[in-house]
Structure 1
Amino acid sequence: MVTALDDLAQWISTLTPDRIPAEQHRLARMRLLDTFGLIAAALDHSAGRSLLAWAGASAGAGATVIGSSAPALPAVAALVHGSLAHARDFDDTFIDSVVHPGSTVIATALATSEAADVTFETLTAAITVGYEIAARLGAVAGRGFHARGFHATGIIGPIAAAATAGYVKRLDASQLADAMSLATSMSSGLLAFMGDGGWSKWLHTGWSAHGGVTAAELAATGFRGPRHGLDHAYGLYGAFLGKPDAELNKLTERLGQTWLGASAHAKLYPCAHVIQPYIDAALAIREQTFATENVSTESIAAMRCVMAPWAIPIVAEPRASKIAPRNDLEAIASLPFMVAAALIEGRVDLRTLEQATIENPAIQALATRIVCAADPALGSGFDGRMDVTFHHGDPLSRTVGIAPPKEARIISKFNANTNGRSRPACDALLRALTDETPAGRKLMRLAHTAMTGPT
């Protein structure tokens, strides 16, 4: 019997880079650039130092770990880079499933592409494949994984990573099906980090990449996987969602014609994606209202942020830790804190996650006047509304929504995230990713020099 995994594997095995639209290859370039910047931004974080220490003690060969002088096995490099890229919560997201594809897919693609020294065209094709598989697996579940306490990225990630690694390694259809089906048993990730700000969230993307690389390596040796890993009663959707009869037709509907992977949105602020449009609105209010009228944050009596019900437990509850987060991971998931920081400081960037900003009494005081409310009519999107009342003057209401950023914003984000690194080397990496076609090993040499070379 041909299964859903068999169908996906057959498509991947016959897909050549020239059959992928040019705009998808271009998008993969921007996603590479964004991810390298995210890795750079996390190298000096405590979690980053921990990951690099672990990598240094896990000697191997075949792949570079950015920030480490020791080579590593591809699976180890994938884990480190995947976790680093997610560790500032600055990576891209699929709006419908809240899956973060880039950290996992690109970490996998970099590790396996360097080991095989494949062409740049193969690398961008593999990234496109990984995003497409992640998008379609997520579309079947919607936000169901989060609703049951699972981090959707950790559930979907290993399978997308196995598809990515399998494409780079040129596995045949049977091997690809084995790789992805093995990866279904590597799916994991709890939302328990929301209780105290533990770093397990950031490990989910790296662990997914590690699992996908390992699954592809095992499949290449003939290790068999459960082909009913998606559609069995105890398969992915049956076990995690209680829905073995999930709409699996979404996995292959117009596959290769409609590129769902293109719908992942890059972030412009280091926080939960659902908060992003409210930051945009807050900054616009600050610029337009504070600059032209005798108004300041002290003038705000109350602010009400209206959003879809699914988002409330993520960014608005429990209220005490959302008003006064204890650490950067709690701040990342706090809409009141992030909106207050935007209004007071006129920006939200990596400095917003510093402990001095998190403990800023003015930001915390304003956060107490920001409440979140659910509107069932908003459904599953990131759209919403911001209502502001002032101690004096007319109230203000603004509709909020989200749109993917332009290339120029991604480049600016990369430059900001690599601030303090070797500027000439970072500029060389930027040129390579926008205009050149570096093969796997050359690209990683460029990236490693950019992140670790002299400033």
Structure 2
Amino acid sequence: MSVTNPLLTFADLALGWHSRPLDEAVQKAVRHALLDWFATTIPGTVRAPATLLANADMGTGSGGAICLTSGRATSPRQAAFVNAAASHTVEFDDIFRDGGYHPGSPTIAAALALAQDRNLPREAFDRAVIAGYEVGCRLALALQPAHYEYWHITATLGTIGAATSAALLLGCDRDQIAHAIAIASSFAGGHQQNLQGAGTAKALHPGHAAEAGLLAAYAARAGATGSLDALHGQHGYAAATGAGTGNWEAAFAGAGDWTPITRMTVKIHGCCGHVFPALDGIGALRQQHGFAFEDIEALLVEGYGATKSMCDRPDPQGAQEARFSLQYCLAAQLVLRSVRLDAFEEAALTNSNIRALMRRIKVERAEDLAAAYPARRMARLHLRLKDGRALDHFQPSRKGDPEDPVTPAELVAKFDELAGSVLDAASVEALRFRILDDDHLPAGLRPL
């Protein structure tokens, strides 16, 4: 695709979803994305920071959007903020692998809040979500991997994805969508220190993105404008966030032929996705050789850059750090046999078997694996057992990625498990039916 101005090209792509035919694959993808969003959001509604924010005075007034944590109607901006924060808390939210981006948390939160507030039909909501994923994910392709060095891309591009979906729901034309994106690029923030460090700010990042995206769309619809060179200009967003002029050829490759929401990664482990190749690899080794965690003498994991820089945490303190510790997550997988919600409860975090095993796990960066990132997420494992056996394994992908997708049944099982940690079985079933089969969403979700 020839690109003169990427901002206007994004606006054209987004507006196209207002009327473009939705084939069966795209319709299934958007419903599966919504199911996965609720799967990760519902457990987050009973944890900080959502529990801290749900009843806080955020100065945003009233409205018809539903805050899932409090169960009360509130303004779209507050509902979007709290729901998106809840969605990013337990680390099960979807991934656009090639962009290293979690689009669902901010994009769906913003679209759902606005659609509920305005009582809009299901099809309008679906189309807005598809468009928000299209713009946010493709922009990630233009900015990565340089952008991720200092910026949390879900916080930054989530603002633009949310603005795009909101602009469609507000009935914006092509120029207004472009200005919503331009304005959102000035609202977009969230740095790596608050992603990698202690505190609850990481989950607030998509919360802010969802709310700021709504604000950008409201402003554009009211007539506010931004620079049409906001993304690619000399002092524009790509340059300001380390991506130079931006790789627009990569961003728009295949535009019109495929849309990003059909190529999402579904997370099957409740931790940082950079740990997934090692988790899948140790699972494959154990299935093949049948050893127990007590049999392990030492384990060396070779990964790509982020595996080492973000996830080499030999002594994590608290659940948030543990979700980003390769040592902890692999030890938990070996001892507990899964890395799901209970792996980050106090009993697991202080489990003596897990803590002892962590000391036998090392992480190294492998340059060949680093060179293939972000398009490929791989790991090599070198395991030494106490009986003297040395076992090696190369993990070329992650379960849940487009090359090895979860089945619809596996996605439903994930939803039932995670939603069932908060809701009773009847409520889980009713919500699942509404998401997958009810054409009257999002207004139909009001009884939650």
TM-score when scaled to structure 1? Answer: 0.91
Percent identity, please.
25
Match for 2:311 among 315, 335, 342?
A: 315
Deviation at 1:195, TM superposition (A): 5.8
Deviation at 1:407, TM superposition (A): 1.5
Deviation at 1:289, TM superposition (A): 3.0
SS in 1 for 2:56: helix
AA of the residue aligned to 2:21: R
Partner residue in 1 for 2:411: 410
Gaps of 5+ in 2: 399-403
SS in 1 for 2:364: strand
* Cα offsets for 1:66-109 (capped at 9, x unmatched): 13243221111111111100011111112222111110111011
* Cα contact 1:92–1:100 (8 A) shared by 2: yes
* Cα offsets for 1:275-294 (capped at 9, x unmatched): 1232223233334433xxxx
Deviation at 1:38, TM superposition (A): 1.5
Partner residue in 1 for 2:187: 186
SS in 1 for 2:268: coil
Match for 1:392 among 387, 394, 399?
A: 387
SS in 2 for 1:302: strand
* Cα offsets for 1:327-347 (capped at 9, x unmatched): 111011111110011111112
Match for 1:26 among 11, 16, 28?
A: 28
Partner residue in 2 for 1:356: 347
**CA distance in 1: counterparts of 2:311 and 2:103, whole angstroms:** 20
**CA distance in 2: counterparts of 1:71 and 1:433, whole angstroms:** 20
Match for 2:318 among 320, 327, 330?
A: 327
The answer to whether residue 159 in structure 2 is matched with residue 158 in structure 1 is yes
The answer to whether residue 436 in structure 2 is matched with residue 434 in structure 1 is yes
Deviation at 1:6, TM superposition (A): 1.5
Divergent runs of 4+, >4 A: 55-58
* Cα offsets for 1:355-387 (capped at 9, x unmatched): 221122211111111111211112202112211
**CA distance in 2: counterparts of 1:307 and 1:335, whole angstroms:** 10
Gaps of 5+ in 1: 317-321, 449-455
* Cα contact 2:160–2:181 (8 A) shared by 1: yes
Question: Cα–Cα, structure 1 residues 356 and 57, in superposed 2: closer, same or farther, change >3 Å?
Answer: farther
Partner residue in 2 for 1:280: 280
User: Which sits farther off after the overlay, 46-55 or 224-233?
Assistant: 46-55
User: Which sits farther off after the overlay, 26-35 or 62-71?
Assistant: 62-71
Q: CA RMSD in A?
A: 1.9
Match for 2:365 among 374, 385, 398?
A: 374
User: What pairs with 1:224-243 in structure 2 (closer than 5 Å)?
Assistant: 224-241=225-242, 243=244
**CA distance in 2: counterparts of 1:281 and 1:341, whole angstroms:** 14
**CA distance in 2: counterparts of 1:72 and 1:2, whole angstroms:** 41
User: Which sits farther off after the overlay, 73-82 or 254-263?
Assistant: 254-263
SS in 1 for 2:155: helix
* Cα contact 1:56–1:68 (8 A) shared by 2: no
User: What pairs with 1:2-151 in structure 2 (closer than 5 Å)?
Assistant: 3-54=5-56, 58-147=60-149, 149-151=150-152
**CA distance in 1: counterparts of 2:196 and 2:19, whole angstroms:** 44
Deviation at 1:439, TM superposition (A): 3.2
Deviation at 1:230, TM superposition (A): 0.3
Partner residue in 1 for 2:401: none
SS in 2 for 1:365: helix
In the alignment of these two chains, the number of paired residues is 435
* Cα contact 2:51–2:69 (8 A) shared by 1: no
* Cα offsets for 1:405-434 (capped at 9, x unmatched): 222111111111122413212211111222
TM-score when scaled to structure 2? Answer: 0.92
AA of the residue aligned to 1:252: F
Partner residue in 1 for 2:331: 340
* Cα contact 2:69–2:83 (8 A) shared by 1: no
SS in 1 for 2:74: coil
SS in 2 for 1:372: strand
Deviation at 1:312, TM superposition (A): 1.2
SS in 2 for 1:206: helix
**CA distance in 2: counterparts of 1:12 and 1:298, whole angstroms:** 53
User: Which sits farther off after the overlay, 428-437 or 231-240?
Assistant: 428-437
User: Which sits farther off after the overlay, 371-380 or 194-203?
Assistant: 194-203
* Cα contact 1:82–1:103 (8 A) shared by 2: yes
User: Which sits farther off after the overlay, 74-83 or 54-63?
Assistant: 54-63
* Cα contact 2:85–2:205 (8 A) shared by 1: yes
Deviation at 1:3, TM superposition (A): 2.7
**CA distance in 2: counterparts of 1:199 and 1:427, whole angstroms:** 31
**CA distance in 1: counterparts of 2:62 and 2:433, whole angstroms:** 30
User: Which sits farther off after the overlay, 433-442 or 377-386?
Assistant: 433-442
Question: Cα–Cα, structure 1 residues 209 and 3, in superposed 2: closer, same or farther, change >3 Å?
Answer: same
